[in-house]
A and B are shown apart, each in its own frame.
Chain A
Amino acid sequence: MLRYLLNKIALLIPTLVGITICAFAFVRLLPGDPILAMAGEHGVTPARYEELKEQFGYNLPIWEQYARYVGEVATGDFGVSISSKRPVLQEFKTLFPATLELSFFAMIFAMVIGIPAGIFAAVKRGSWFDQSLMGTALVGYSMPIFWWGLLLIIFFSGYLGWTPVSGRMGLQFFLRPITGFMTIDSLLYGKWDAFRSALSHLVLPAIVLGTIPLAVIARQTRSAMLEVLGEDYVRTARAKGLSAARVIGVHALRNALIPVVTTIGLQVGTLLAGAILTETIFAWPGIGKWMVDSIFKRDYVVVQSGLLLIALIVMAVNLIVDVLYAVINPRIRAA
């Protein structure tokens, strides 16, 4: 097991180097000069331009800028935002809990609905439920997040008035963050109404962000279940006269869940990508919105360090999934 783990970690190193190169190169390939972006319509005189270029280190050869960047990152220095002048790592730490909380609830929503729906569709294969579920899943998978989010806001918040439009908690609650997770912090402060407010603010963004993973999980569960339901041991279990619930719930589901766990792990990347749009629509103060703002401001430092930090998280989650997979399915370790 240890060898398996070390192997997996060793594989991450080239990925990591690749990501630093990509993050560094992509922001520089974007058209638009960060100094001119800062100057706005005022423009900047050529002399002042040169002065600023030197101040920000953009006059150095590109490889030297890269070497500097990697050197700093290696020592845990992710730089300071050009626009806010705050350390990138500090901003990331402040904002990440919001993204994590939203992603967590989105995932819960996707699993609680996606897994039972997938099982039911597999058991009733070919029925109208199966057909319509798979059709809906395809729609959910292909729906633009931006449109879906605004549609929900206009209908549920604007027209029906059931849910708040945006934000993380009602503005009447003023809680200084302890953990950064509003649902936890409100409980730590012992404020039930704040907790309810935080939950109600999570409903729409969690649905929007959870829609794609929900579709993927439902489809994956269905196909995994179908495969397992055709296996000999399931037939044997049925032949032994076990109840349908026991056959499906115990014998089939446990085995069908193995690929589903992997799918869920892989959805972490999808969640973080979806968070970029969801957070912007719902004014959710997480890292997705932070990245979008920084791209518009041509804040190189935030974009490249933010990309790297997000990539590190996705890699860490994938590693955990690999390990979990090996725990669930010992054959993987030997392979």
Chain B
Amino acid sequence: MKKTMTFAAALLAASVLGGMANAKTLVYCSEASPANFDPGTTTGGNDFDASSRTVYSRLVEFKHGGTEIEPGLADKWEISDDGLVYTFHLHPGVKFQTTDYFKPTRDLNADDVVFSFDRQFNKQNPWNGEKYLPNLTWDYYTGMDMPKYVAKWEKVDDLTVKLTLTEPNAPMLANLGMDFASIVSKEYADQLEKDGKMADFSTKPIGTGPFQFVDYQLDSVIRYAANPDYFKGKEKIDDLVFAITPDATARIQKVLAGECDVAPYPNPADIATIKANKDVTLMDQAGLNIGYMSYNTTIPPLDKPEVRHALNQAIDREALIKSLFQDAGATPAQNLIPPTMWSWNKAVKFDSYDPEAAKKVLADAGLKEIQLWASDRVRPYNPNFQRAAELIQADWAKVGVKAEIVNYEWTKYREEGKKKERPGAFQIGWTGDNGDPDNFFATLFACSAIGVSNYSSWCDKDFEDLIQKAKKTSDQGERTKLYEQAQEIFAKQAPAFLLAHSQVYAVVRNNVSGFKMDPLGIHRFDGVDKAE
């Protein structure tokens, strides 16, 4: 008997050690440190990669590598005919992660869902304010207009939750797939509140996602382990490590040296080196973004569509894109939304380069001088505002329009640029949040966005009616038609010069499989495997 026990113990030790030796570790060289691990309170893509996409899950999820909505913690849902009531049915038996700082005693239920949202708007909830963390702003919850549309969240029974809206809002479902809508554990929150350690909620996260948090060394390394109880099945990699590496060149050198397996955002200048290396693959995808230049449509002569068209026609867009994006490449924009998004109208074509025609219209309109705005910041949709401004300035000079370049630091730039009285052409852009066309059309060109993010101060009744109607319609086929019409109006009215949709890149070692580029700009490691 004793012998058997000894043998069993030896076997167990061998298997544990063997398991350790064979543990699959995937290292991701991330671009920045996360602010914290509570996705409701943060706004950066790097924050979300480190929290919501690893540790947490949501009621609905974006399809891996796409923007379509698929079931998450909710197996199914119903939307009432009037579009006001959403009923979600939760997947039974979903376990919260068990770690050395929290042992859950119950499965996920409706209380967790209600709590996850309630804490973001209810001032009476102790987790809404100072008691939890100082200076909380819940930026995404307010930024996505949730306070305006959500009337209440209710628990129907343990596995059923009801969301009532104040008015129909079709993008709501896509909003619930966003990072701020991650579902947290009420039991964990209650325990921390009782122990007087509420701040731990943002540094030691507990969720239902594919990986569980192990350790974070500030500004250096984040460690996760595969969640053994993950409701969609345990991941193939055992350990996930984020090595925080802010410099793009160092990040790429680390992948080439085998110190990390995946790294995002290479410098355009390094792309040729990466392509030449046989151990790594450069992955790319058209980003869910748009670079554009808003004309102030309220100040003559820019209030006339033909003048705006003429300015567009005077710009050699192909040369401009080539000069700005170089080897990284970008897709010239035909519409405000990128071609990967549903409802993109393929019949619409952006103004073609025709300086001769432009010259005449601009001379007739008497446009001789214009302000052209540029900032110092590198954005995914425009790597160099200043260079773009100089090239456009040269093109406009050829048609007799003298452009004066106006420069401001990035935050000041947007502060000045959004003012209704700001003259001229203002370079800006957008990266989508949730894959819904409303997130582009309404956010950037709704009448209500004037003074906030409608830099053209453009308010067109027909366009407005269409996008507002689309917002209230749940049927996607019908919404598609409405957005297609809206794009025709946009093309006709030309409130902006459309530049391009840029590519987003990641570098992946060849022994990694299952990693997908994501149009929303997130980096997910569920479904990823690594060969030894």
Using a CB–CB cutoff of 8 Å, the interface residues on chain A facing chain B are 30-33, 36-46, 48, 52, 55-56, 80, 82-86, 91, 94-95, 98, 150, 153-154, 157-158, 161, 164-168, 171-172, 174, 176-177, 280-283, 285-286, 289-290, 293, 298
CB nearest neighbor in A for B223: A174
- Point out the residues of chain B lying under 8 angstroms from A55, CB to CB: 135, 137
Q: How distant is B377 from chain A, measured CB to nearest CB, in Å? A: 10
Contact indicator B412/A33 (Cβ below 8 Å): yes
The residue from A37, A56, A164 contacting B411, defined by CB atoms under 8 A apart: A37
Q: How distant is B36 from chain A, measured CB to nearest CB, in Å? A: 6
Q: A38-B139, A41-B453, A43-B414 are in contact. Are A177 and B217 (CB under 8 A)?
A: yes
A-B contact pairs, 26 of them (CB 8 A): A38-B43, A38-B137, A40-B43, A41-B430, A41-B453, A42-B139, A42-B443, A43-B418, A43-B449, A43-B452, A46-B451, A85-B135, A154-B249, A164-B259, A165-B257, A166-B245, A166-B254, A171-B243, A172-B25, A174-B223, A282-B250, A283-B243, A283-B245, A285-B218, A285-B219, A285-B244
In whole angstroms, how far apart are the Cα atoms of A153 and B27 in the complex? 19
In whole angstroms, how far apart are the Cα atoms of A290 and B25 in the complex? 28
Q: How distant is A299 from chain B, measured CB to nearest CB, in Å? A: 10
**Could you give, for residues 87-126 of chain B, a 1 whenever the CB lies within 8 Å of some chain A CB and a 0 otherwise?**
0000000000000000000000000000000000000000
Question: Would you list which residues of chain B between 20 and 78 have a CB under 8 Å from chain A?
Answer: 25, 27, 32-33, 35-36, 41, 43
In whole angstroms, how far apart are the Cα atoms of A80 and B132 in the complex? 13
Q: Let me know if B465 is at the binding interface, CB within 8 A.
A: no
Q: Let me know if B142 is at the binding interface, CB within 8 A.
A: yes
**Could you give, for residues 193-206 of chain B, a 1 whenever the CB lies within 8 Å of some chain A CB and a 0 otherwise?**
00000010011000
* A-B contacts, CB under 8 A, total: 137
The residue from B43, B246, B410 contacting A32, defined by CB atoms under 8 A apart: B410
- Could you say which of B25, B35, B410, B430 has the most chain A C-beta atoms within 10 Å of its C-beta? B35
Q: Let me know if B369 is at the binding interface, CB within 8 A.
A: no
Extra pairs beyond A32-B409, A86-B36 (9, CB < 8 Å): A33-B411, A37-B411, A85-B133, A91-B218, A171-B259, A174-B215, A174-B223, A285-B217, A289-B246
- Point out the residues of chain A lying under 8 angstroms from B408, CB to CB: 31
- Point out the residues of chain B lying under 8 angstroms from A167, CB to CB: 220-221, 243, 245, 259
Q: A41-B431, A43-B418 are in contact. Are A36 and B411 (CB under 8 A)?
A: yes
**Could you give, for residues 424-456 of chain B, a 1 whenever the CB lies within 8 Å of some chain A CB and a 0 otherwise?**
000011110000000000010000010111000
CB nearest neighbor in A for B136: A85
Q: A38-B139, A150-B249, A157-B257 are in contact. Are A283 and B244 (CB under 8 A)?
A: yes
Contact indicator A48/B142 (Cβ below 8 Å): yes
Q: A85-B135, A280-B246 are in contact. Are A42 and B219 (CB under 8 A)?
A: no
Q: Let me know if B477 is at the binding interface, CB within 8 A.
A: no
CB nearest neighbor in A for B429: A41
Contact indicator A153/B253 (Cβ below 8 Å): yes
B contact residues, range: 35 or more
Contact indicator A168/B220 (Cβ below 8 Å): yes
- Point out the residues of chain A lying under 8 angstroms from B218, CB to CB: 91, 94-95, 285
In whole angstroms, how far apart are the Cα atoms of A161 and B452 in the complex? 50
Q: A56-B135, A285-B244, A289-B246 are in contact. Are A85 and B414 (CB under 8 A)?
A: no
Contact indicator B215/A84 (Cβ below 8 Å): no
In whole angstroms, how far apart are the Cα atoms of A166 and B408 in the complex? 34
Q: How distant is A204 from chain B, measured CB to nearest CB, in Å? A: 10
Contact indicator A176/B33 (Cβ below 8 Å): no
Contact indicator B202/A85 (Cβ below 8 Å): yes
Contact indicator B412/A32 (Cβ below 8 Å): yes
Contact indicator B247/A280 (Cβ below 8 Å): yes
In whole angstroms, how far apart are the Cα atoms of A221 and B254 in the complex? 38
Q: Is the interface of B mostly helix, strand, loop or mixed?
A: mixed
In whole angstroms, how far apart are the Cα atoms of A168 and B428 in the complex? 38
In whole angstroms, how far apart are the Cα atoms of A326 and B347 in the complex? 83
The residue from B41, B143, B221 contacting A85, defined by CB atoms under 8 A apart: B41
Question: Would you list which residues of chain B between 222 and 261 have a CB under 8 Å from chain A?
Answer: 223, 241, 243-247, 249-250, 253-254, 256-257, 259
Contact indicator B33/A281 (Cβ below 8 Å): no
**Could you give, for residues 400-416 of chain B, a 1 whenever the CB lies within 8 Å of some chain A CB and a 0 otherwise?**
00000000111110110
- Point out the residues of chain B lying under 8 angstroms from A176, CB to CB: 215
In whole angstroms, how far apart are the Cα atoms of A38 and B257 in the complex? 36
In whole angstroms, how far apart are the Cα atoms of A174 and B245 in the complex? 18
Q: Let me know if B18 is at the binding interface, CB within 8 A.
A: no
Q: How distant is A183 from chain B, measured CB to nearest CB, in Å? A: 15
- Point out the residues of chain B lying under 8 angstroms from A46, CB to CB: 451
Q: How distant is B436 from chain A, measured CB to nearest CB, in Å? A: 15
Contact indicator A281/B253 (Cβ below 8 Å): no
In whole angstroms, how far apart are the Cα atoms of A82 and B137 in the complex? 10
CB nearest neighbor in A for B245: A283
CB nearest neighbor in A for B433: A42
Question: Would you list which residues of chain B between 139 and 165 have a CB under 8 Å from chain A?
Answer: 139, 142-143
- Point out the residues of chain B lying under 8 angstroms from A45, CB to CB: 452
- Point out the residues of chain B lying under 8 angstroms from A31, CB to CB: 408-409, 411-412
Contact indicator A171/B249 (Cβ below 8 Å): no
CB nearest neighbor in A for B381: A41
CB nearest neighbor in A for B448: A45
- Point out the residues of chain B lying under 8 angstroms from A283, CB to CB: 220, 243-247, 250
CB nearest neighbor in A for B221: A171
Contact indicator A281/B35 (Cβ below 8 Å): no
- Point out the residues of chain B lying under 8 angstroms from A280, CB to CB: 246-247
CB nearest neighbor in B for A289: B219
Q: How distant is B286 from chain A, measured CB to nearest CB, in Å? A: 19
Q: How distant is A130 from chain B, measured CB to nearest CB, in Å? A: 36
Q: A31-B411, A158-B253 are in contact. Are A171 and B241 (CB under 8 A)?
A: yes
The residue from B257, B410, B415, B431 contacting A158, defined by CB atoms under 8 A apart: B257
- Point out the residues of chain B lying under 8 angstroms from A286, CB to CB: 219
CB nearest neighbor in B for A283: B245
Q: How distant is A78 from chain B, measured CB to nearest CB, in Å? A: 13
Q: How distant is B98 from chain A, measured CB to nearest CB, in Å? A: 19
CB nearest neighbor in B for A286: B219
Contact indicator B415/A84 (Cβ below 8 Å): no
In whole angstroms, how far apart are the Cα atoms of A91 and B259 in the complex? 27
In whole angstroms, how far apart are the Cα atoms of A154 and B267 in the complex? 14
Contact indicator A43/B453 (Cβ below 8 Å): yes
Contact indicator A84/B253 (Cβ below 8 Å): no
The residue from A94, A98, A154, A171 contacting B253, defined by CB atoms under 8 A apart: A154
- Point out the residues of chain B lying under 8 angstroms from A83, CB to CB: 35
Contact indicator A285/B215 (Cβ below 8 Å): no
Q: A55-B135, A153-B250, A285-B220 are in contact. Are A84 and B414 (CB under 8 A)?
A: no
Q: A85-B133, A167-B243 are in contact. Are A33 and B415 (CB under 8 A)?
A: yes
- Point out the residues of chain B lying under 8 angstroms from A82, CB to CB: 135
In whole angstroms, how far apart are the Cα atoms of A289 and B220 in the complex? 11
- Point out the residues of chain B lying under 8 angstroms from A85, CB to CB: 35-36, 41, 133-136, 199, 202
Q: How distant is A57 from chain B, measured CB to nearest CB, in Å? A: 9
CB nearest neighbor in A for B214: A174
- Point out the residues of chain B lying under 8 angstroms from A48, CB to CB: 142
Q: A31-B411, A55-B135, A158-B256 are in contact. Are A171 and B27 (CB under 8 A)?
A: yes
